[in-house]
Structure 1
Amino acid sequence: MNAPTPIRVLLVDDDPLVRSGLRLMFGGAPDVEVVAEAADGSEVPPLIDEHSPQVVLMDIRMPVVDGLEATEALRRREQPPEVIALTTFHTDAHVLRALRAGAAGFVLKDTAPEEIVDAVRKVAAGEPVLSPEVTRQLIDRVSEGTGRDSRAIWAREQLEALGEREREVAVAVGRGRSNAEIAAELYMSLPTVKTHVSRILTKLALNNRVQIALLANDAGTDGTADQSG
């Protein structure tokens, strides 16, 4: 029986020691293969074309093209790789921007090696990297005043495009509820919740449930927003 094809990973960080450490760490995971490295976001596009990685570990702060700009450019591609943001502080406003740009999650640079490997495996399998609790904490702790009003208007318009039950699910995701908790609260089956989440992602052209949570937060749907429409 043939071994499964390893998950192809691109490392992007301006610190060669960080890249070296990550490469060494992934060397101990037979199901993960580091296919290339980049020291700046400007180097990413040609490496994506050449190596077709499934997952990009992306440093947020880099001197020329930072991880935010690089992530936004990647997610605009027709078949983009998943992006995991690398950061030093989980309350950094840049983390929230990376998630808005379409990153599937983030890991701290001092995260235990096995957890970083696990994050790559989850993202490659289409699973969320951030728990609902971490998503909620991040939204609560990081305040972004600039553009808040315009984001709120846009977010409410987006939610209005959803059906009533879909909006209820989106609001629950924004509150940090897991699918099981949403099912219990809204008296739905778990498969029905998952179907609604998938439809929300498709209708609103979002990448993952983290972006649903951010959208609900921008709209002010914390239980006080108008849900009519």
Structure 2
Amino acid sequence: MSIASERPTLMKLVLADGQSLVRAGIRMLLQSEGQAEVVGEAGDGQELLALIAKLRPRAALVELDLPVVNGLDVLAQARRHYPEVAVLLLAARPEPGQVRSALRQGAAGFLTKQAEPQELGLALRSIEKRQTYISPAVSNLLLDRRDQTRIEDAAILTHRQRQVLTLIGKGKSTKEIAALLGVSVKTVETHRARLMQSLGLYGTNALMRTALRWGLDTHEH
């Protein structure tokens, strides 16, 4: 087998940001990560949609505040016409409503421009697994009590995940949750893992804090 044939196939990705220097920096970061190949770049949303139609990449990294056609509108059109293309949104200062709208419309992930460089690699790996990646900073934005919104308003949890989160907030162990829901311990562990992934949480303590917040919200509203 030749060396060339052993090289992994890189994810084909298009990149869109209104600032060329930002695009250059992200392109260099992607090259250093070795997970994706930038096959096209755009400075506005209309140009990006044309690239997606032409190149049919696996993913698109899209700045939220693109000129001409903004990132949310790009997401909506891409999901409608090219559902196989994963759209990962990037924003300097996202608003909670923008994040919730993006997740409802099927965004593959949401990052802030203040994120650590390695987060981009985590997001790309999530895309490969067909999972949603939410930057911890974005997750905190959604869960901030000053936002006066409930966790379920993010519309990213299944009915079963909500049940599991409620029981975690009541202090139930994994074994107790399994017995209450009539499922296996392994199934509950899977739900816990997916909850953490969906909410961009890291560690059991973060999940417990979120579950407690969930409990407060469901009693307050």
Normalised TM-score (structure 2): 0.66
Alignment coverage as a number of residue pairs = 187
Amino acid at match of 2:72: L
Q: Which residue among 1, 4, 7 is the counterpart of 1:3?
A: 7
Which of the pair is proportionally richer in helix?
2
Kindly indicate whether residue 177 of structure 2 is the aligned counterpart of residue 186 of structure 1: yes
Check the 8 A contact 2:115/2:137 in 1, yes or no.
Answer: no
- Secondary structure, aligned partner of 1:27: helix
Once the two structures are superposed, what CA deviation does each residue of 1:28-61 show, in whole Å capped at 9, x if it has no partner? 1323101111111112222112222111111111
Aligned alpha-carbon RMSD (Å)? 3.9
Q: Which residue among 100, 106, 118 is the counterpart of 2:104?
A: 100
Gaps of 5+ in 1: 146-151, 160-165, 198-207, 211-219
Q: Which residue among 148, 159, 180 is the counterpart of 1:167?
A: 159
- Secondary structure, aligned partner of 1:107: strand
Once the two structures are superposed, what CA deviation does each residue of 1:162-194 show, in whole Å capped at 9, x if it has no partner? xxxx73434546x7x7xxx99556313365459
- Report the CA distance shift for 1:189/1:136 in structure 2 as closer, same or farther (over 3 A): farther
Amino acid at match of 2:51: L
Larger radius of gyration: 2
Equivalent pairs: percent with the same residue? 33
Gaps of 5+ in 2: 200-214
Amino acid at match of 1:53: P
Check the 8 A contact 1:11/1:36 in 2, yes or no.
Answer: yes
- Report the CA distance shift for 1:194/1:85 in structure 2 as closer, same or farther (over 3 A): farther
Mapped to 2, the partners of 1:134 and 1:184 lie a distance apart of: 31
Runs of 4+ in 1 over 4 A off after TM superposition: 131-134, 139-145, 181-185, 193-197
Check the 8 A contact 2:108/2:132 in 1, yes or no.
Answer: yes
Amino acid at match of 1:169: Q
Q: How do 1:1-229 residues align onto structure 2 when only pairs under 5 Å count?
A: 2-77=6-81, 79-130=83-134, 135=139, 137-140=141-144, 143=147, 167-172=159-164, 186-187=177-178, 188-189=183-184, 192=187, 209=198, 222-224=217-219
- Secondary structure, aligned partner of 1:65: coil
Check the 8 A contact 1:7/1:121 in 2, yes or no.
Answer: no
